[in-house]
Structure 1
Amino acid sequence: MSMKTLKRQEAQKLMVEWIKDSSCMPEVDSFYLKMRNELQNAYKDVKEKYSRDYEIDIHFGIYLYNYFEKIASFNMRTASDDGFWRYLSLKVVPDLVTDRWGKDNEAHFWKRGNKIWLRTLWWYIYLSWQENVQKTLDVIESPGFTTDTILNLIDRSGKGYYIGVYRNIMYLHSRVPKEKLAEFNRNTVTKADSLFRVIMKLNTARTKVIEPALYTGGEREYARSLFNDLGINV
C-alpha cells in the first residue's frame, strides 16, 4: 500500500474548509483513522510532560519518526514528498497542527514545503539522528538548540542532503560548552547570527568546493573544521 498524498490545489481547498469549520475532523479510512488516534494520543502525552514549544516539537518529532519507521510503505521517497505531509496535515491530524500553529497558518499546514510542521519534525530528527533515541535526545536537548534550529537545519540542508555532515554538526554543536556558546552568540553582529546559523551558512559555502566525505578524517573532521574556523574547539 502506498501512502496517500494531496496535490497543492486539493490542499488549498481543504485548508479553506478547515478554516471555515474546524469542529469536524475530515473523513479518512481505517488505516489513517488508527494513525490519527495514535498521533493524537502521543501529542497529548507530550504536552502533558512539556510546555516549551521546542520540547514539544522534539519529543513529538521523536515519536513521529519512530512511528513511521514501523510502517513498511513509508520510505525516503515518502519523506521527501510534500504531498504526503500535506495529506497528514490536512486530512489526518489538522487538529494537532492547529494546536501548535493556529488553524489558518497555511505555511505550516501545506503551502511551504520546508515549513510544513510535521515534515520539519520528521526531517529534524532524521538529520539529527545519533544511532538511537537516547543518544539523539542527548544531542537535541542540549543548550543552544531552539525552534529556530529546526528551521535553520531544514532550510539550509536543501535537497542534496549531506546526512553525515548534518548529524556531525548537530553532535559537535551539542558539545560546545554553554559558556562558550553564550560568549559567541553575545559577540555576533545580530541576534540572528547564532553559532548554529553561522555554522550552517559556512557549511553551505564550503560544500560548494569541498566534498566532506573526502576530507582528511572524514565527515566528522570536516564538521569539526567548521567550528575550529570560528574559534570553537570541540
Structure 2
Amino acid sequence: MNDELQRTLSEILESGSQSNPAVNVLISDYAKYHAVLVIVGGCLVLLFALLSIIFWTKFKRSPKISKLKWGFERKAYFSFGLLSSSVALLMILIVVANLTNVLNPLHGFSLLNVSFKISNGATYKDELRYAFNEWIQSGNENIPSILQEKINKRIEFHTTKAIVCGILLILFVGLSVYIWNALVKRAKSNDSKWRFKEKAYFVFGIATVVLSLLMMVIVVANMQGAFAPITLFMMNLFNS
C-alpha cells in the first residue's frame, strides 16, 4: 500500500491535478502554513524596519566622545540599529521564500521529504499512519475522526504555546526596554564608572534581547502550527 500511495501522490503532484479532494486538503493546508509566515513575517519586516530607522536616527544624534571613541549610548544605538536591520533583511528573505510556496504550493509540497512507509509494528502511531494513507487513497475530503482528534489536539497545543510565549515575549521586550533605557540614562549622566548593578543590567539586557527574539520565533512557529496543523502533523507522523 505504501508504494501505491507514493505513486498516487507522485502522479497527482506531477500532473497538477485537483481531482483528489484529500490531497487538495493537504495542499491547501500547506499553502496556509506558509501564508501565515508571509503575513506575520511581513508585519515583522515593517516593525523591524521602523525600529532600525529609529535606532539609526538616535545613533546619528547621539554625541561623540571623539572621532575614534564612542560613548555607551552611541554604541548601544549602533548595535540595536544593526540588529534590527539584520533581522528585517532576514525576514524579507524568509517572506519571499515562503511566498513562492503560497503562490505555487503544489511544487513546494512535492519537495517535502516525507516517507509514507509504515513499519510492521502494531503501535498507535502505525494505526494513525494506516488511517492517513487510507484517507489519501480514498480521496475523501473529510478527515477521519482518528486523525481529526489528533489534529485538534495539535491545534490546542500550538495555540496554548503561542499564547504563553506571546505573553513571555511582551514581558521580555518590556524588561529589555526598561533595562536599556536605564543604562543609556546612566551613560548620559557622565558617570563612566560602572558598578556591579550596571554590569548586571548589561548582562540581563543582552539576555532579554536574545530571549525576546527566541520567543518571537516560537510564537510565529506555533501560529503556523495552530492555523495549519495538518502539514506539521503529517511530517511528524511519517518522519519520526
The structure showing larger relative contact order (alpha-carbon pairs under 8 Å, at least 6 residues apart) is: 2
The TM-score with structure 1 as length reference comes to 0.23
Q: Which has more helix, going by share of residues?
A: 2
Higher radius of gyration, 1 or 2: 2
* TM superposition score normalised by structure 2: 0.22
